[in-house]
Structure 1
């Protein structure tokens, strides 16, 4: 299930003047350029040892996000047909085509998108976000077993039909996603929920290179994720196997599909306690008051520090805290972001996470009139934003860079960068209105607005 967490973009909190003072020529772009989309690229193989991947596989595959244990492995046995219902846009179909092709090529899964099937193994259906969250308030999107679409889910949602722990084999699963959100958010839901429809149902906050992580930094399936799914559908495994049986088979499977991982095991991060998970989920949740969320974020930081973590869990705690206290304590937020970035920069393979923090820091630099610092932070983050196919992050970084360029007097260059940002924003942020709103929000950060 992809959580409906609060957005990490609270950039307007840095502005010190009313939005009505934003110069109109920046805020009311009338003709937006065509939507930009990613061409796709090969994902890097996981950098961890096979012994560590095997431990991750077992924890992902035999536990639920709630902590409930799964007694056996379940998967589809045989070819998998996928039916898409109520497709809201051409971008949804294009992104699904690309995902199916990647699953066939990179994970070796016999999966096919069909126009119509009497008994599709996976049903993907779009519904309105309001309707979806009426039934599952905390979810941006989710996956359920033994139902054939939205109406079937509503009829059976309270019974044992949708209980994953009672499955012996997967035969039909539904992926339910919102249709009235940005193309990127739809794509992100496709990747995470289809992956869980096929394989592991758990998310682990310690995984820095995976969509099986509720921090939502990775939005498309990574090389690690494809390795997990390839192992999940290895011929040595089958539905009904116990954890011990799967554990015995994994070393041979991983040696075959990931020979680069056959090296000494550097060890793995300690298991994440429920107290930290509860604190971070409270901090990110949309329903608690801001003071409750801030207290929860501080509690997550304290737990991470007490346990001596110096990994992405401590960094994410600091990142969440910085985002939450930004409106009331900009200096404290900056310190939290700097702490998070220092940790992320020290860890291999955390470029995406560093890019998210750099976006927040570049916004602060822009609002302080430090244009060159903002440009440097943005340029350092752009490669990771593009490589991770995160158009929302990419467009926001480019908007910040455009404002910083304008602040240095490089207006022609700024206009080109701003136009580029809008093409990515149409995919990553959504409607024309939302794109213009983000442009206005970024524009409001620049001290240059006070001169109009």
Structure 2
């Protein structure tokens, strides 16, 4: 503007009448987000360090595996047995569980979400998009109806340390067949547990799931958060255990893979194959799962 001024004198223009001042722009409405507590802030820092350390070690892969992670039909059938017919925990997220019959859903799954007060609107939008997209993918893989509409029977909670109990109470009040007390195992998560899921069979068949609740720490950073969505929602369908031998897979405690792999898609296809049924034991299912695994891998039967 200074460069455009002239040094010569000019006649001043006649005064103009004053104009009405424009009305001030409305103040944007900002959603109220609860400040983070010191405990939650410390956990957020810890989980960021965990993610960075894992990435620096080549973990949390998102490539789904490759030439370095081959597996055969026999390996797939073996991994299916370990992941489906054993429980990851005995009770209250403590200890290793024992053998279990095959469990899965019969009725359509309706996924809903609950967010703690510390989750920002932008993060809620991202989490919602991720959950809904993944729910559609799981439905395509399994052939089982999975949607994000209607009254939820599978609730995914994103809450920090301060909001988790209230969010769990809210989930119990919304969902049939679940009481507040039945969610106690998800209330006091160990620091090393980034997320968890519990599935319930409240109907006449104890091996047919009717409800599930997944809890994902809101303190999780981006990739850990997405990996929790992938693992807990898939486990809530009936892949209840982790196996050290499963590879490439998110159902392995080594955290090598962050997102559902092609191997894991095969496990889900096997789980919801109509030739298998809830209540089957590992011994009863074994001859069938070997056939299904070879079909999926394109091998001789």
TM-score (norm. length: structure 1): 0.42
State yes or no: 1:136 paired with 2:179: no
State yes or no: 1:145 paired with 2:199: yes
Deviation by residue 1:5-54 (Cα, 9 ceiling, x = unmatched): 9726469xxxxxxxxxxxxxxxxxxxxxxxxxxxx999879842212211
Structure 2: how far apart are the matches of 1:73 and 1:207?
18
Q: 2:142 aligns with which of 99, 107, 113?
A: 107
Query: Does the 8 Å contact 1:192/1:212 carry over to 2?
Result: yes
Structure 1 position 220, deviation (Å): 0.7
Q: 1:214 to 1:10 in 2, by over 3 A?
A: closer
1:266-277 pair list within 5 angstroms: none
State yes or no: 1:79 paired with 2:108: yes
Q: 1:73 to 1:9 in 2, by over 3 A?
A: same
Structure 2: how far apart are the matches of 1:236 and 1:134?
37
Structure 1 segments, 4+ long, off by >3 Å, are: 8-11, 40-47, 129-134
Query: Does the 8 Å contact 2:51/2:223 carry over to 1?
Result: no
Structure 2: how far apart are the matches of 1:247 and 1:100?
28
Q: 1:72 to 1:143 in 2, by over 3 A?
A: same
Query: Does the 8 Å contact 1:210/1:222 carry over to 2?
Result: yes
Structure 2: how far apart are the matches of 1:91 and 1:103?
18
Deviation by residue 1:115-168 (Cα, 9 ceiling, x = unmatched): x40xx3311112114555861114211011339xxxxxxxxxxxxx9xxxx942
State yes or no: 1:194 paired with 2:233: yes
Deviation by residue 1:244-284 (Cα, 9 ceiling, x = unmatched): 1111211222233x143449xxxxxxxxxxxxxxxxxxxxx
Q: Which runs of 5+ in 2 are unaligned?
A: 1-46, 55-61, 89-94, 165-185
Task: Give the structure with the higher percent helix.
Answer: 1
Q: 1:86 to 1:67 in 2, by over 3 A?
A: closer
Match of 2:80 in 1: 57
Query: Does the 8 Å contact 2:71/2:247 carry over to 1?
Result: no
Structure 1: how far apart are the matches of 2:281 and 2:237?
18
After superposition, the CA RMSD in angstroms is 3.2
State yes or no: 1:210 paired with 2:226: no
Structure 1: how far apart are the matches of 2:299 and 2:136?
25
Determine which structure has greater relative contact order: mean sequence separation of CA pairs < 8 Å that are 6+ residues apart, divided by chain length: 2
Structure 1: how far apart are the matches of 2:282 and 2:254?
26
Structure 2: how far apart are the matches of 1:171 and 1:69?
22
Q: 1:225 aligns with which of 232, 242, 264?
A: 264
Q: 1:211 to 1:130 in 2, by over 3 A?
A: farther
Structure 2: how far apart are the matches of 1:145 and 1:42?
26
Deviation by residue 1:381-432 (Cα, 9 ceiling, x = unmatched): xxxxxxxxxxxxxxxxxxxxxxxxxxxxxxxxxxxxxxxxxxxxxxxxxxxx
Query: Does the 8 Å contact 2:114/2:155 carry over to 1?
Result: yes
Q: Which runs of 5+ in 1 are unaligned?
A: 12-39, 148-160, 264-452
Structure 1 position 197, deviation (Å): 0.2
Q: 2:129 aligns with which of 81, 94, 107?
A: 94
Match of 1:333 in 2: none
1:110-129 pair list within 5 angstroms: 110-114=145-149, 116-117=150-151, 120-129=152-161
Structure 1: how far apart are the matches of 2:65 and 2:136?
14
Match of 1:7 in 2: 50
Query: Does the 8 Å contact 2:64/2:261 carry over to 1?
Result: no
Query: Does the 8 Å contact 2:64/2:259 carry over to 1?
Result: no
Match of 1:318 in 2: none
Structure 1: how far apart are the matches of 2:53 and 2:226?
23
State yes or no: 1:172 paired with 2:211: yes
Query: Does the 8 Å contact 1:44/1:223 carry over to 2?
Result: no
Q: 1:261 to 1:8 in 2, by over 3 A?
A: farther
Match of 2:298 in 1: 260
Number of aligned residues: 211
Larger Rg: 2
